[in-house]
């Protein structure tokens, strides 16, 4: 509550001034900003997959990429949600931010056989998802990929 100490000849009582105190509002906004800054990096895909490395130049990712992961036990996951192979295309079609002209980022564990990786890519192609990008760990430029045969 605030009072005005202005000179008023007709009234000897103090009158109230009605101003909005914005300090608590700013405090709340700053606390929310800190919470979102801490929580934003935690919203990435967190499946334990041992990705191979690549020395290719990294490309810019879209804001909300759709990750399809092949785990070491050959099960599939979209983001962090497990999905059956038979339901893969239906699940991708049901995603609100996914369309057939957007890229699907395919991650596969290092122990996944090449035939399994190609089988999932063929499944995506048959469902109309022809735009697939393979995900690997970034390595130093010019260095051979980890696990590559040395002459």
φ/ψ region of 142 (left if φ > 0, alpha if ψ in -120 to 50, else beta) reads left
Single pTM value for the model:
0.55
> What is the mean predicted confidence (pLDDT) over 121-139?
85
Q: Assess if residue 88 is contained within a domain.
A: yes
Q: Of all residues in the chain, what percent are helix, strand and coil, respectively (each to 5)?
A: 30, 20, 55
Domain with 90 in it: what CATH number? 3.30.420.270
Q: Assess if residue 150 is contained within a domain.
A: no
- The pLDDT tens digits for 34-93 are 988 888 776 666 667 776 777 777 777 777 888 899 988 988 998 888 999 888 888 888
- What is the number of residues in the chain? 151
14-18, 27-31, 99-103: the lowest-pLDDT one: 14-18
Residue 130's domain comprises: 67-136
Tokens, residue 13: 């009582």
Q: Per-residue confidence at 8, pLDDT binned at 50, 70, 90?
A: low
Q: Per-residue confidence at 4, pLDDT binned at 50, 70, 90?
A: low
Q: Assess if residue 74 is contained within a domain.
A: yes
Q: Assess if residue 85 is contained within a domain.
A: yes
How many structural domains does the chain have?
A: 1
Instruction: Write the DSSP assignment of 4-32 as a string of letters.
Output: -----SS--SPPEE-----HHHHHHHHHH
pLDDT of residue 151: 34
């Amino acid at each position: 509550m605030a009072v005005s100490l202005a000179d008023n000849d007709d009234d000897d009582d103090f009158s109230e001034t009605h101003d909005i105190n914005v300090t608590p509002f700013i405090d709340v906004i700053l606390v929310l900003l800190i919470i979102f800054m801490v929580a934003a990096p935690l919203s990435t895909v967190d499946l334990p997959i041992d990705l191979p490395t690549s020395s290719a130049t990294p490309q810019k990712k879209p804001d909300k990429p759709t990750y399809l992961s092949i785990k070491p036990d050959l099960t599939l996951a979209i983001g962090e949600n497990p999905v059956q192979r038979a339901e893969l295309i239906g699940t991708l079609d049901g995603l609100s931010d996914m369309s057939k002209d957007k890229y699907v980022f395919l991650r596969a564990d290092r122990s996944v056989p090449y035939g399994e990786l190609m089988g999932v890519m063929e499944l995506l192609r048959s469902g109309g998802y022809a735009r697939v990008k393979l995900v690997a760990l970034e390595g130093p430029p010019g260095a051979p990929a980890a696990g590559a045969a040395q002459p």
